[in-house]
Every structure is written in C-alpha cells, then in structure tokens.
C-alpha cells in the first residue's frame, strides 16, 4: 500500500495512535500539529497551526484525516467556550484547503457533543442514534455548548464540500474514547492517577452519577480503519458501545484494579456535563462492535500509567 495520508492534529492522543497504525499498514503519513512529535514518530511532521499552514500548501493527498481541534476535557468546554468556538475556524481552513487542493477522501472526526442535550438529562434514556441529528434536513436539538455547535457546523461544511467538489466525506461521532496516552485533563486518566496514588477518599467530579459510553482506543482505531473506505459519504457513524457507566462506577473499578478500598467523594464544585451520554452502536457491523471490556481497558490504562510514573 502506498497511500499518501495527511493527519491534522496527529500528535494528540487519537492522532499518535492512529498515525502508528497507518504507518504500520504501509501508508506514507504527513502530520501537521502545533505540538512536537515524539522522537520515534513514523511520519513527516510539520509543527504549525493548521490555520496558518493549510492556506500555504497545494499538496493533495489520497486521504485526509482531520483531528485538529481545541480540546481539553470538560473544563475547557465549559470554562473556555470562545476558545473552543475556534474549532469553526480550524475546520473552515481545512474545507477551504480541500476545495482548492482536493483529496481522495476526507475523514472528519465530529463528536457525540452534537446530540441534543435535552436527550441526555435522564438516566436510562435510549441510546443516541445517528438519525437524531441530520444536518441536511433537520430538525435537531441544541448541542453541547460551543464544542457541540462547532462540530455540528463542521458536519454541515463537510456536506457542502462533498456536494460541491465530489470529495467523499466520512463523518464519525465518537463517544468517550480513552486509553494510554490521554491527557490528565480527561477523567479516565485523572481518576486512574488518583487511584494509583491510593488517594482516600477517591474523588470524582460532579455528582459521580453522570454516565458516559466509554470506548477503548483500540476499538476506536479498528472501527475507523475498517470502515473509512466504505462508509457512505456524509452519513455519520457513531463510535460507541451502546452501554453507559457512571463515573462513580469507574472509580470503583479503578480502585479494585489497584487493589484498595477507599471512600468515594464527589466534588460538586467541578463540572460534570450532561447526565446521560450513551450512543447507539446499531449501525456498526457486528464484527466491529467494540470488543475491549471496560475492566480490561482500565487495566491497560493502569499498566501504562505505572510504566511512566
């Protein structure tokens, strides 16, 4: 395979895992990111803001995977809404570049934050299905703050690109992807570090009752790499398990993994987001349903963090 690939934001959590898998498959990978790459990174890296670099290049790629975004966990989403809104400008620079230079296929990483927040407030609500948010025909509800609005706008710009330039645009809506290498600003890493320090009480943010649909990084990668070439253009696909787990339960599993029995404390001064964000996995081929059990994924995360402590 001699496919030429551009990954924006390729030095982040998802990007580093994805780039290594692409390179292992024999693809020639270019990365543009504001972060410096790891020393053993199997890609040609450009250290730049995509908003500055994309307007300067005319290079065309067989595949473009767009991961570049302002991220940083729930704290950034709630406390830095205008900075997060800059994702619209990041996406605009990408779509303007592709309209000029073209590519064989675009993978656009959207988010579960595009789903209506009024569907995410009651425990036990049915999983969020892709058909609930359709930027072509609507209607759709209010998404989750500026991050959700920006990703919804990105999906819409993607449909415009596909319609006007004939570029296939594959849209994924990942739920709570986690695994080795994720920053401490995300809850799975943060809680696991506290558990490894054997903190007692073991603290989780908010009420601890908020549920998320946790997807291990390997399952995320398998779904993307097995479907991007065949997924219909502009038809969103959830990356989800269909099952929710509360942060209170996550803390218990992590304490059990470490081997201690702390009290659990819930910090109501910290943001918790919506109460129930669980995605439907019905659109996934049965062979691609997430396979890494939550307890197994947490063990992998603990092993990684012990190794870098």
Mean pLDDT by 10 residues, the chain (309 residues): 91 98 97 95 97 96 97 78 92 98 97 96 91 92 95 98 98 98 95 98 95 98 98 98 97 98 94 94 96 97 87
Residues 6+ apart with CB under 8 A from 93: 50, 51, 54, 55
Overall number of domains in the chain: 1
Say if 286 falls within a structural domain. no
Say if 56 falls within a structural domain. yes
Say if 190 falls within a structural domain. no
Tokens at 169, concatenated: 């645009």
Read off the CATH number of the domain in which 29 is found: 3.40.50.720
Cβ neighbours of 85 (radius 10 Å): 16
Q: Which domain holds residue 221?
A: 4-179+213-242
Which pTM value belongs to this model? Answer: 0.96
Q: Write the secondary structure of 72-112 as one string of H (helix), E (strand) and C (coil).
A: CHHHHHHHCHHHHHCHHHHHHHHHHHHHHHCECCEEEECCH
The closest of 213, 204, 211, 188 to 276, measured between CA atoms, is 211
Say if 41 falls within a structural domain. yes
Residues 6+ apart with CB under 8 A from 23: 29, 42, 43
Say if 252 falls within a structural domain. no
Tokens at 34, concatenated: 């504001």
- What residues pair up with 290 in beta bridges, in sequence order? none
Tokens at 265, concatenated: 């404390």
Residues 6+ apart with CB under 8 A from 305: 180, 189, 192, 193, 196
Task: For residues 211 and 120, give the distance between their C-alpha atoms in angstroms, rounded to a whole number.
Answer: 9
- Asked if 81 and 145 touch (Cβ cutoff 8 Å), the reply is yes
Say if 257 falls within a structural domain. no
pLDDT of residue 80: 83
Task: Determine phi and psi for 120, rounding to 5 degrees.
Answer: -125, 25
Say if 259 falls within a structural domain. no
Say if 309 falls within a structural domain. no
pLDDT of residue 247: 96
Residues 6+ apart with CB under 8 A from 163: none
- What residues pair up with 261 in beta bridges, in sequence order? none
Angle at CA of residue 56, ends 50 and 57, nearest 5°: 90
């Amino acid at each position: 395979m001699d496919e030429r690939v551009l990954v924006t934001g390729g030095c982040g959590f998802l990007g580093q895992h994805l780039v290594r898998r692409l390179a292992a498959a024999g693809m020639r990978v270019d990365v543009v990111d504001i972060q410096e790459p790891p020393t053993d990174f199997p890609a040609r890296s450009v250290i730049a803001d995509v908003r500055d670099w994309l307007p300067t290049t005319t290079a065309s790629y067989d595949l473009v995977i767009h991961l570049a975004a302002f991220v940083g966990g729930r704290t950034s989403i709630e406390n830095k809404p205008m900075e997060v809104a800059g994702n619209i400008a990041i996406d605009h620079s990408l779509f303007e570049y592709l309209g000029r230079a073209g590519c064989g296929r675009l993978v656009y990483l959207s988010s579960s934050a595009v789903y209506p927040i009024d569907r995410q407030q009651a425990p036990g609500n049915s999983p969020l299905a892709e058909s609930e948010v359709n930027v072509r025909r609507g209607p759709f509800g209010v998404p989750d703050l500026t991050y959700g609005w920006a990703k919804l706008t990105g999906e819409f710009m993607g449909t415009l690109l596909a319609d006007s330039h004939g570029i296939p645009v594959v849209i994924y809506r990942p739920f709570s992807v986690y695994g080795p290498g994720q920053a401490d600003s995300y809850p799975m890493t943060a809680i696991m570090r506290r558990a490894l320090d054997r903190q007692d009480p073991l603290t989780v943010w908010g009420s601890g009752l908020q549920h998320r649909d946790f997807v291990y990084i390997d399952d995320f990668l398998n779904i993307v790499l097995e479907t991007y070439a065949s997924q219909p253009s502009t038809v969103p696909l959830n990356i989800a398990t269909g099952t929710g787990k509360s942060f209170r339960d996550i803390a218990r599993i992590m304490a059990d993994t470490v081997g201690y029995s702390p009290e659990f404390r819930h910090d109501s001064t910290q943001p918790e987001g919506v109460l129930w964000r669980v995605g439907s996995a019905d659109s996934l081929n049965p062979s691609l349903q997430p396979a890494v059990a939550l307890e197994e994924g947490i063990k992998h995360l603990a092993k990684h963090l012990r190794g870098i402590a």
